[in-house]
Amino acid sequence: MSAISLHLASTSPRRREILNALGLTFTTAGVAVDEQRLPGEAADAMVLRLARAKAEAVQRKQLQVVLGADTAVVLGDEILGKPRDCDDAVNMLAQLSGRTHAVLTGVALSTGQGLRTILSTTEVRFRKIRPDEALAYWQSGEPCDKAGAYAIQGRGGVFVEAISGSYSGVVGLPVFETVQLLHDAGIQVLHD
C-alpha cells in the first residue's frame, strides 16, 4: 500500500465493503451534503455534483486522498430516491416492474493535484413484480434506505432480469472507475 492515506466520505456499508474487498486501507466518515436535485438538473450532472460535494466537504490533510460517491436510480426523467414509507416503496417497485432503468453513480476523488470525477452508468432490467412480492420485499426491511427501493446485492436481486454495465456501480461504488481514479492518484489496488 502506498504512503498516501485514503478517506471515504460516506457511511455506506456497501461502499466500505467494496473498498475492503479491494484490500484497501482507509478511514471513513459521513458528510453533511444537501442532496436535493437542482431545478432542471440532469441526473448525471446531479450525481457528479454530489460526489464532488462529498469529496470536498472533508478537510483534506497532506497525503490524504478523499473519495466521494453518489448513486441515483433513474426511470425516464424521474430520480427514484429512498422510499418514504411502504406505499412509496411499493409504488417505486411497480414503476420499475417489467422495465429498464438506469443506475448512475458519480465518483469524485480529491487529491493535492485537484479533484477528478467519473460517471458509471448501468442499465438494469426488472422482471414483472407482483404487488404481493413488492409488499413482502418491503416487509423484509431491505429496501427502506435504498435508492429505487431495492438492493441488487440482496433480496432485491430476485427482481433483476439483466444488467448492462457495472454491477458494483449499482451496489454503490463502481470498481473499474474507482480503481482508475485511485491509480491516477498513486494508490495501487494490485501491487507487489
Residue 191 to residues 37, 48, 138, 181, Cα–Cα distance (Å): 39, 29, 42, 16
Residue 34 bears catalytic tag: no
Given the residues 34, 70, 145, 184, the one annotated as active site: 70
Residue 84 to residues 143, 147, 182, Cα–Cα distance (Å): 10, 11, 35
Residues annotated as catalytic (active site), given as ranges = 70
